[in-house]
Structure 1
Amino acid sequence: MTQTIETERLTLRLFTPDDADFLYDVFRRPEVARWSGTGVPIADRDEALRRIAGQPKRAGDHPAAGIFHVSVRETGTPAGMVLFAPLPPSEGVQRDDMEVGWHFHPDAWGNGYATEAAQAVVDRAFATGLAEIYAVTHPDNDASQAVCRRLGMTDLGLRSEWYDVELRAFRLEHP
């Protein structure tokens, strides 16, 4: 599959090392980092470079998988990231799920970019015949839960099957 996706307003493409400054700018911010991974802001640009280098492994080998840099088509302004990747099961749990997820720069919040970018990767995944897609959010992340609902995802409540923590899970079945 192509590694670039275009929507009405956005361009999604795989990250390159040239994106390290932007990735650092996004994840150095406590208001973004609190919803991601450990919840701790990244320390420096080198950590952003390491994350970019690790993205192909994290994305896995599903034909629609990827961790995509999202920019505004009209201006080229970087806005955030969207991923479609394997959802890591919790210790002792046997699952093989795929997730859609997103993180955006605060300057891009409130424009519908997360929903538009996520819908693009969901459509791409369903085009491969995938039966269902999951999203997981921090239990208090109302904004991301609203994106899940706009995507038509079903709220599964608080679950602990993934990432070894309790998260609010959502599922979208192939239409």
Structure 2
Amino acid sequence: MRELTSERLLLREWRDDDAGFVLDMCSRWEVQRYLGAAPRLLADRDEALATIARWRGHDDGLHGVWAIEDRADGRPLGTLLLIGILASGEERPLRPSGETEIGWHLHPDAWGHGYATEAAGVVLRHAFASGLGRVLAVTYPENTASQAVCARLGMRHEGRTDRYYNLTCELFSINAAA
């Protein structure tokens, strides 16, 4: 996985020794409540390790799930993803839509410092430099914090949709600069 950097952040591959942090972050309802069709809390280190392995499985040179780390002190802050978004449908597992989604979730200790916006900006530049023409974000309708990040990134609000994940979501998009 290609490491990406900004002034304050290092985006890197998740490592097994991050399991304690992942367990702490993903065992909090305030972090997990807006993730997926059936949000759930991680219960133990084995689940954290399985989550890390799943995140590493998204790396294809363009797409991936990065650990967000503070460059000043090496402290993990959260996760940033650029993955294929799944289309709604009856079939299980859900099928890829052919489109790409950006998303983030951070530890509550990292909220309110602009890290999500900074990390997402780095990954959007990577995506567009790699040839992607459009990136989507979906949020639960009540997730106003992530919607504010989308706005700060310059993403366009396209309204509500049920086209992805068998959920009703707010849809945002951004296109590569022409």
Q: Give TM-score scaled by structure 1 length.
A: 0.93
Q: Quick one: which of 133, 137, 149 aligns to 2:135? A: 133
**d(CA) in 2 for partners of 1:86 and 1:60?**
11
Cα displacement string for residues 75-127 of structure 1 (whole angstroms, at most 9, x for unaligned residues): 11111010111111111687311011000000000000000000101100000
Question: Is 1:51 the equivalent of 2:48?
Answer: no
Unpaired runs of at least 5, structure 2 = none
**d(CA) in 2 for partners of 1:158 and 1:16?**
36
Q: CA deviation at 1:171?
A: 0.4
Q: CA deviation at 1:10?
A: 0.3
Cα displacement string for residues 126-168 of structure 1 (whole angstroms, at most 9, x for unaligned residues): 0012110001111100000000010100111111111111111
Unpaired runs of at least 5, structure 1 = none
Residue aligned with 2:97, SS: coil
Aligned residues: percent identity?
A: 42
Q: CA deviation at 1:16?
A: 1.2
Residues 60 and 86, structure 1, Cα contact 8 Å, conserved in 2: no
Q: Quick one: which of 169, 172, 175 aligns to 1:173? A: 175
Q: Cα RMSD between the aligned structures?
A: 1.4
Give matches, 1:1-175, under 5 Å. 3-37=2-36, 38-57=38-57, 59=58, 61=60, 63-91=61-89, 95-175=97-177
Moved over 2 A (4+): 92-95
**d(CA) in 1 for partners of 2:11 and 2:59?**
18
Structure 2 CA distance for partners of 1:78 and 1:130, relative to 1, 3 Å = same
Structure 2 CA distance for partners of 1:8 and 1:138, relative to 1, 3 Å = same
